[in-house]
């Protein structure tokens, strides 16, 4: 083995990153050690700080080091509208693409009993208490339309109806710029059944 122990350890440690194989890990190691030690130190500090301090928001379960995340602390956002998403990255995607001004709730997963992921793992008891509490007027489901996503959506929709809260979900259909020829049959059938008045 041509590498010294610390160099080898760094190469192996990079493998915990998603999408990083042996070649990328080697490239990252050499690039940082040869050209960017300051970047390496900054990344080390950022990793250590985040791993140490980042927990989840008491309201929406999004990742944050404070008790509540910036969006839940923002008074100008309507707490009566709640958008349910699967992942923290979905929150940013919606913030970038829409002018939504309500709050979020991050499931961090989908119901999947076979993998041991039940309502408790997704924080659905807390969500139910919040819906029953009466502060929420509308729930918007922005969950991906997979089998498990649909099951999760139905479970939450039932909870919302039981609490007398109206439920909507984001539209599924042909993506903008999409060619009908290349859209799968399930999406096309959804888009056809969900057609709206031509404006």
The contact set with its own copies (CB under 8 A) reads 1-7, 9-10, 12-14, 16-19, 24, 26-34, 36-37, 39-51, 53-54, 62-66, 69-71, 87-89, 91-92, 95, 108
State the nearest-atom distance from the C-beta of 126 to its own copies, in Å.
18
**Minimum distance from residue 94 beta carbon to its own copies (Å):** 9
Name which of 70 and 134 has its Cβ closer to its own copies.
Answer: 70
- Give Cα separations from 135 to 128, 131, 165, 183 (angstroms): 12, 7, 10, 40
Closest approach of Cβ 119 to its own copies, in Å? 18
Work out whether strand 55-56 and strand 63-64 pair parallel, antiparallel, or are unpaired. antiparallel
Residue among 19 and 196 whose Cβ is closer to its own copies: 19
DSSP at 175? P
Smallest distance from its own copies to CB 96, Å: 9
Closer residue to its own copies (CB): 97 or 180: 97
- Sheet with 138-142: list strands edge to edge: 102-106, 78-85, 138-142, 166-169
CA distance 92 to 100: 11
3-class DSSP state of 102: strand
């Amino acid at each position: 083995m041509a590498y010294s122990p610390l160099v080898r350890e760094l190469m192996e440690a990079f493998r915990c990153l998603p999408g990083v194989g042996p070649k990328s890990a080697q490239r990252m190691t050499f690039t940082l050690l040869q050209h960017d030690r300051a970047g390496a130190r900054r990344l080390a500090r950022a990793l250590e700080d985040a791993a140490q301090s980042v927990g989840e928001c008491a309201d929406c379960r999004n990742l944050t080091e404070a008790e509540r995340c910036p969006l839940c602390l923002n008074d100008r956002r309507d707490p009566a509208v709640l958008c349910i998403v699967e992942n923290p990255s979905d929150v940013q995607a919606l913030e970038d693409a829409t002018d939504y001004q309500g709050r979020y709730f991050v499931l961090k997963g989908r119901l999947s009993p076979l993998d041991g992921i039940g309502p408790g793992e997704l924080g659905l008891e807390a969500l139910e208490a919040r819906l029953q509490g009466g502060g929420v007027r509308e729930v918007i489901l922005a969950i991906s339309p997979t089998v498990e996503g649909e099951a999760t959506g139905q479970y939450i929709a039932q909870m919302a109806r039981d609490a007398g809260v109206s439920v909507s979900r984001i539209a599924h259909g042909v993506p903008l710029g999409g060619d009908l020829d290349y859209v799968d049959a399930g999406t096309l059938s959804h888009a056809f059944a969900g057609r709206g008045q031509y404006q």
